[in-house]
Copies of this chain bind each other. A is one copy, B any other.
Amino acid sequence: MTRTDIARRVYNHAWKLDPIVRSLLDTDFYKLLMLQMIWGMYPKVDATFSLINRATSVRLAEEIDEQELRAQLDHARTLRFTKKEMIWLGGNTFYGRKQIFEPEFLAWLEDFQLPEYELHKRDGQFELEFHGPWMYTTMWEIPALAIINELRSRAAMKSFGPFALDVLYARAKAKMWAKTERLKKLPGIRISDFGTRRRHSFLWQRWCVEALKEGIGEAFTGTSNVKLAMDTDLEALGTNAHELPMVLAALADSEKELRQAPYKVLQDWQRYYGGNLLIVLPDAFGTAAFLRDAPDWVADWTGFRPDSAPPIEGGERIIEWWREKGKDPRSKLLIFSDGLEVDTIIETYKHFEGKVRMSFGWGTNLTNDFEDCAPQETDGLKAISLVCKVTEANGRPAVKLADNPAKATGDPREIKRYLRIFGEKDRVEQLVKV
């Protein structure tokens, strides 16, 4: 006999909204680490974050209903950190350190709410912007991206019957499991989930995290998603992002100050965090310029996260620099996180094994790989290169150069000015898939 729980069925079908983001912890851990520093040192800075769809051929505003998007963004604005979440943030050990968040910061966080948004449609795209104090707008990056990406998946699957959905997820699971089987053969590899922003959906990200936990065991070092870390007792991972040097560079009043911005960020960071959190993200204005002008103390930091150079060349350049500074790379850490797929991970792992400590922050290809999974044709399940970047700080344009010109963001004239100051050495154009 089939037993239908009538109450549950009515409840399920009476939903006004199936929320995509249900917790303010459903974000990347580095946002909270950065937030504490921004709150502490730059509370008066305004920063605008803007959605940027690098996949211009994908007309997002035609795939996603504007009202649905507004409903999800509005719902996210109703969220507050819950009591349990606050207790966990205060009581948990992050990167081996207790009380990484100051009591005053946590007290402020208790009342945190995502600020307003501005949404327009133009030429088949959404113009989505967040204006206001940096310490509020910064927190939109991850939920905004997760919402748009999941709405896009939902739109693509709207015409799928229950059977097509069943086959879709069965194939995606089979595919994901095959990846874990390849990865677990690599002794000592360290992999973490960095896939929140680009995920197919929250539930799918959770499945993938569980798959990694089950499939590669100890080699799975944690997730950047704070909520998943809390719910599944994993390590919450992540350090800092480009927005820090981008804002500080935008605020610079002279060329000299601009050149110093990337190192000023590190000094600020070191006031708050130590040990394994001392990870340099060197590519905001080109890794070559960063290394060329870096003070010696930068070589004392635990590691680097090359994020837009080809992993092997990029990693080798950093190793070379460590050697010049008299450091043994085997005591240093490289965190790879740019467009990783299993093949890239394996190739990079084999190349650097024994030469340096390394770790892989696996994003889009982990949490949003549905290639060849749909039993009916659709382009809507192909992940796209969608970012939410700081574009202005205190009214001044913010710029990212990156090691890959295709990943640069900002006003073209400003980009030119930055390139003149930082140089173009070692920049390599690569196709940005995700």
Q: A residues touching B (Cβ–Cβ < 8 Å)?
A: 3, 5, 8, 11, 161, 163-164, 166-167, 169-175, 177, 181, 210-211, 214-215, 375
- Tell me how far the C-beta of A141 lies from the nearest C-beta in chain B, rounded to whole angstroms: 27
**CB neighbours of A166 from chain B (8 A):** 173
Across the interface, name the chain B residue whose C-beta is closest to A167.
B177
Question: Is there contact, CB below 8 Å, between A177 and B171?
Answer: yes
Provide 11 A-B residue pairs closer than 8 Å at the C-beta atoms, listed in order of the A residue: A3-B8, A5-B8, A161-B214, A163-B214, A170-B172, A170-B173, A171-B173, A171-B174, A174-B174, A181-B375, A215-B375
Query: How many copies of this chain?
Result: 2
| Bound: A172/B173 CA distance, A | 11
A interface majority secondary structure: helix
CB distance from A3 to the nearest CB of B (A): 6
Residue of B nearest to A173 (CB): B170
Q: How far is the CA of A174 from the CA of B210 in the complex (A)?
A: 20
Assuming the contacts A3-B11, A8-B5, asked whether A167 and B171 have C-beta atoms less than 8 A apart, the reply is no
Once A169-B170, A174-B170, A174-B171 are accepted as A-B contacts, the answer to whether A163 and B210 lie under 8 Å apart by CB is: yes
Q: Give, as a whole number of angstroms, the nearest-CB distance from A258 to chain B.
A: 50
Give every chain B residue within 8 A of A169 (Cβ-Cβ). 170
Other than the known A5-B5, A167-B174, what 5 A-B pairs have Cβ atoms closer than 8 Å? Answer: A3-B11, A161-B214, A163-B214, A170-B177, A215-B375
Q: Which residue of B lies closest to A166 (CB)?
A: B173
Closest 9 CB pairs of A and B: A170-B173, A174-B174, A170-B170, A171-B174, A163-B214, A5-B5, A167-B177, A170-B174, A3-B8
Q: Once bound together, how far apart are the Cα atoms of A129 and B3, in whole Å?
A: 36
Chain B residues near A175 (CB-CB < 8 A): 174
Contact B167 A173 (CB under 8 A): yes
The answer on a CB contact under 8 Å between B177 and A375 is yes
Please report the C-alpha to C-alpha distance between residue A170 and residue B181 in the assembled complex, in whole angstroms: 15
